[in-house]
Amino acid sequence: MKIAISGKGGVGKTTIMALLANEYNKAGKDVLIIDADPSPHMAETLGVRNIEKIKPIAEMTKLLVERSGKVEGSPFYNMNPQVNDLLHDFMISHEGIKLMVLGAIQTGDKGCACPENNVLRRMLTKLLLSPEQVVLLDMEAGVEHLGRGTIAGIDQLLIVVIPSRSSIRTALKIKKLAEDVKIPRIDFVGNLIKDASDREFLSEGLGTTPIVFFTDSQAIRKAERAETPLTHIPVPAEDAPHLLMEALSR
């Protein structure tokens, strides 16, 4: 199963993906998280130590240029670079969950040259090919990444949305682009829910009911402030992470 998660900035997509990864891990699944956000902090969310030593591969320009086979002054580079060793060398394992901090695949108009992009895309494709792993892709906020078509091979897209009109507008834009690139299954996940009116507001604004609602959790907020791994917090009464895993299996 290959699941991507997206949404407007600040809606809690990294938090929800970490909690979902923990559920799959407890269920005995082989779990890999790919952090493809331009400001990755999944490692911190999971409680990985010495995170200051973790550098997103997207920022390793010299390494990416070398691996692309590009020669200075030449327009040519290797379209099928070898990346298997990079996947091995830069993959982190923490409490049974694997993590690859990829960083964002940038567009040409942001100053990122094609050879580097090609290596990153090749790595992402390889990571998504594993038939047995549960692969969770934490994407950058917004909608641009879908327009670039960087998530071919994804089975499911989760769009995290909070009870605000701007979040709903962004979520609906993401859904439209996801449909355009033919992602097989697209679902909304409600977050920061306080009461029934929040649930109704989201369901009406989206035109459908999210497959699960995560409450506005004091436990999560305290854990983040105390730098406690979210995977260590007590299970909430509604157990939304488990309900989400069950919904994805149906």
User: Which run of H or of E encompasses 127?
Assistant: helix 114-127
- Check residue 108 and give its pLDDT: 45
Global model pTM greater than 0.85? yes
Low-confidence ranges of the chain (pLDDT < 70): 70-79, 105-113, 141-152, 236-237
- Write down the residue that tokens 């982190």 correspond to: 92
The three-class DSSP label of residue 73 is: coil
- Check residue 28 and give its pLDDT: 95
User: Which run of H or of E encompasses 4?
Assistant: strand 2-7
- Write down the residue that tokens 């407007």 correspond to: 8
Query: Please, which residues bridge with residue 157 across strands?
Result: 4, 186
- Check residue 95 and give its pLDDT: 92
Q: At 10, which amino acid appears?
A: G
- Residues 125-168: tens digit of each pLDDT: 888 877 789 999 988 766 666 655 566 678 899 999 999 999 99
- Check residue 16 and give its pLDDT: 94
What six digits make up the tokens of 8? 């407007």
Q: How many CA atoms lie within 13 A of 56 on its CB side?
A: 18
The three-class DSSP label of residue 68 is: helix
- Check residue 87 and give its pLDDT: 85
User: Beta strand pairing status for 134-139 and 31-36?
Assistant: parallel
Domain at 2-46+92-104+132-249: CATH code: 3.40.50.300
